[in-house]
Amino acid sequence: MPHDVGAVPGPDIEIDYRFTLANERTFLAWIRTALALIAGGIAAAKALEFNHDVYRWIVAAPPIAGGALLALEASARRLTYQTAMRAHGPLPGSRGLRVLGVALGVYAVVALVAIVLDG
C-alpha cells in the first residue's frame, strides 16, 4: 500500500520483506558470534590448566561476559534497525563491530600476558 508523500509513516507500515529477512540474518550472525564467545570462555574455564586459577579466569571470563553483552547488543540493534526501516528513516550507525574488534584485540594481549606470566 503506497503512503502519502510527506506523511509520517507509523510502525505498522510494511517494508520489503527482504530487508526484514536481511536484518534477521544479521541478528543471527551476531547471536552465533555471541554463542561462540560464550562457548569458548566455558571451554577455557574447564580445559585450560594454569598454575594459578586467577589466570584461568582472566582468560575465561571476558569471552563469556563479552558474549552476553554481544547478545544483548544484537537484540537491541535488530529492533532499532527494524524500527528505522519501518519509519523509512536512515539506519543508525553501529559502533558494535569496532568495539568488538578492539575488545578482541585487547583480550588477545591480556590472554597472552596471562599465559606468559603463568609459565
71 pLDDT above the threshold of 70 = yes
Residue 113 lies in a domain: yes
Is residue 3 in a domain?
Answer: no
What is this structure's pTM?
Answer: 0.77
Cα–Cα distance for residue pair 63/40, rounded to 1 Å: 7
Rg (CA), the chain: 20
* Residue span of the structural domain in which 72 resides: 17-118
Query: Phi first, then psi: what are they for 55, rounded to 5°?
Result: -70, -35
pLDDT per residue as tens digits for the range 18-46: 988 999 999 999 999 999 999 999 999 99
Compute the distance between CA of residue 11 and CA of residue 3 in angstroms, rounded to an integer.
13
pLDDT at residue 12, as a whole number: 60
Per the structure, the count of domains in the chain is 1
